[in-house]
Amino acid sequence: MIIDGKLISLQIQDEIAIEVNKIKSNGGKLPHLAAILVGNDGASETYVAAKVKACEKVGFKSTLVRMPSTTTEQELLEKVNELNADADLDGYIVQLPIPKHINEHKIIEAIAPEKDVDGFHAQNVGRMALNLPTYLPATPYGIMQLLERYKIETVGKHCVVIGRSHIVGSPMSILMARNTNPGNCTVTLCHSRTPDLKEFTLKADILIVALGKPEFVTADMVKEGVVIIDVGITRVTSDKTKTGFKLVGDVKYDEVAAKASYITPVPGGVGPMTIASLLKNTLKASRREVYF
């Protein structure tokens, strides 16, 4: 079965819009999300524009703070402090990557944890590991939503995660091992230093792939009935599209889909869930559900 992330993402956005209408009719303050964009990286511009558009669609207030690529670390820290102190603002993100001359960790740690709707602050990562209320990072949160809404059985299953980035693989391994539903898996976290990857992927009931190598996972690497969550997105050239490009996942879709019980396509699987999760976190922030 194909896991339709686009559909679930639209459902979540409809649910959020209903909540915003309730807030409006009760005369409450609209949830307010801001994004800081430093420089003009093409992909970042696209992502931030999509986030602003999604805010408008569900009825949130949104603010885009643009800063030039020459911004110093001190200037960005000052902007972060300004947003921390802005009482009207419920949550904000600093769109990554930021220019290399700025220390990313320093910036993330300066964000007030109660406004860190990307869930990247060490305090929120710690709360996630301890299973305390927090903002889950958007992509892992989106994957958890997909597993939940498709009622995919995870208890006691063997979940193999490929990739250990701080934004996808590592948090996914923590979430799938927690005593929650979805969760309660036995988890194996594989990465670039794993000697025989296939030995592990063949044992996976649930395989979460986030390494950024197009069509890396092939049919011979998975067992019959596996659940496949393909996080990878790579733009490759194609002579079959008008633009000359197409998006490809980390899984060789057609041959792996033939063996899988569930699979996320690329595009239209995990990708659309990321924005829906950010909106969910912002609603949580506006309701002071995590920090109060």
Query: Minimum distance between the CB of residue 15 and ligand NAD, rounded to whole angstroms?
Result: 20
Q: How far is the CB of 124 from ligand NAD (least distance, A)?
A: 17
Residue the block writes with tokens 């959020």: 16
CB–CB of 154/182 below 8 Å? yes
Interface with ligand NAD, residue 233, by CB under 6 A: yes
Q: Is the dihedral of CA 113, 212, 241, 40 positive or negative?
A: positive
231-240: long-range contacts (C-beta < 8 A, 24 or more apart)? Answer: 231/139, 231/143, 231/163, 231/168, 231/270, 232/266, 233/266, 233/267, 233/271
Q: Interface residues for ligand NAD in 155-184 (CB under 6 A)? A: 162-165, 167-169
Contact between 96 and ligand NAD (CB under 6 A)?
no
- Helix, strand, coil share of the chain (percent; to 5): 40, 15, 40
Which of 105-113, 192-200, 240-248, 284-292 is the region at the interface with ligand NAD (rule: CB under 6 A)? 192-200
**From 12, 152, 211, 285, residue interacting with ligand NAD (rule: CB under 6 A):** 211
Single out the catalytic residue among 4, 90, 116, 118. Answer: 118
Q: How far is the CB of 110 from ligand NAD (least distance, A)?
A: 22
- Which of these is catalytic: 4, 90, 95, 205? 95
By CB neighbour count within 10 A (0-12 exposed, 13-18 middle, 19+ buried), where does 70 fall? exposed
Q: Is there a catalytic annotation at residue 51?
A: yes
Which residues contact ligand NAD by CB under 6 A?
A: 139, 162-165, 167-169, 190-192, 194, 197, 210-213, 231-234, 270-271, 274
Residues marked as catalytic: 51, 95, 118
